[in-house]
Amino acid sequence: MPVRDVHHGVPYPGLFVLDEDGTVAEKRFEQSYRHRPTAAQWAEDFAGVPVHAAISDAAEGPGLRARAWLDTATYRPFQLLRLRLAFETADGLHVYGAPTPDGYTPLTVAIAPIEGLAARPAILPAPHWFRVDGLDEDFVVHEGRFDAELPFSIDGNPGEVTLTVEVGYQACSAVACLPPTDLRLELPLAGRDLIRD
């Protein structure tokens, strides 16, 4: 992508990983000078350091349990954060993935709008095919335990905010479906100013 003149000399966030001989083993650069991953994300991605939840919330509805967490309880403007989610369906049930035939509700994960929110699409595992005897439609489903991520940033500092995670789904067995359901999980975040020094 060509760089406009106004952007010449602007540093983009990047990371070099050196091996024991001092040779560059890996490198990564972000596509925006504004959006920067947290140090915990770099450590997880390159060194496999496990991420611990600083804040979390859980919710349960018919056929599905959900937990959401972040590795930090604060944010800075344009800092790229990674919302993590863990789901578990009840025994014998599944939730629909996308695409879903008309009349059925797939699993959706989103953050409710707040000032400055820049959310990327949720990253879900690939659903697997599921066939229901007697129906002509083909379905894809999630079942058991599975994880998801939702990268986002808050482009500004509106102060203390509540990150509201909205989960929509429909749980079904091989013979019956429960009504579509919505879950809400709430994570409080404190705003911090940019580090200028």
Q: What is the pLDDT of residues 176-195, one digit of tens each?
A: 899 999 999 999 999 998 76
Tokens of 163: 């990150």
Asked if residue 19 is part of any domain, the answer here is no
C-beta of residue 18 within 8 angstroms of C-beta of residue 25: yes
pLDDT the model gives residue 188: 97
For the entire predicted model, the pTM comes to 0.79
Residue 182 and residue 74: Cα distance in Å, rounded?
26
Asked if residue 33 is part of any domain, the answer here is no
Q: What is the CATH number of the domain that holds 162?
A: 2.60.40.1250
Asked if residue 31 is part of any domain, the answer here is no
Amino acid code (one letter) for 64: L
Asked if residue 7 is part of any domain, the answer here is no
Asked if residue 21 is part of any domain, the answer here is no
CA 166 to chain centre: 12
What is the DSSP secondary structure assignment for residue 100, as one 8-state letter? Answer: -
pLDDT the model gives residue 137: 79
pLDDT the model gives residue 197: 46
Opening angle at CA 46, ends 43 and 48, nearest 5: 70
Note down pLDDT in tens along the chain; length 197 residues: 555 666 666 666 677 777 888 888 777 676 665 666 666 666 666 666 667 789 999 999 999 999 999 999 999 998 889 999 999 999 999 999 998 888 889 999 999 999 999 999 999 999 999 887 777 778 899 999 999 999 999 998 999 999 999 999 999 998 889 999 999 999 999 999 876 54
pLDDT the model gives residue 130: 87
Per-residue pLDDT reduced to its tens digit, 74-108: 999 988 899 999 999 999 999 999 988 888 899 99
Q: Which helix (H) or strand (E) holds 41?
A: helix 39-47
Closest Cα partner for 161 from 108, 117, 109? Answer: 117
Asked if residue 181 is part of any domain, the answer here is yes
pLDDT the model gives residue 11: 66
Q: Kind of pairing, strands 139-142 and 94-96?
A: antiparallel
User: Residue 126's beta-bridge partner residues?
Assistant: none
The tally of domains found in the chain comes to 1
Give the range of the structural domain holding residue 125, as residue numbers without chain letter. Answer: 51-191
Asked if residue 3 is part of any domain, the answer here is no
Asked if residue 42 is part of any domain, the answer here is no
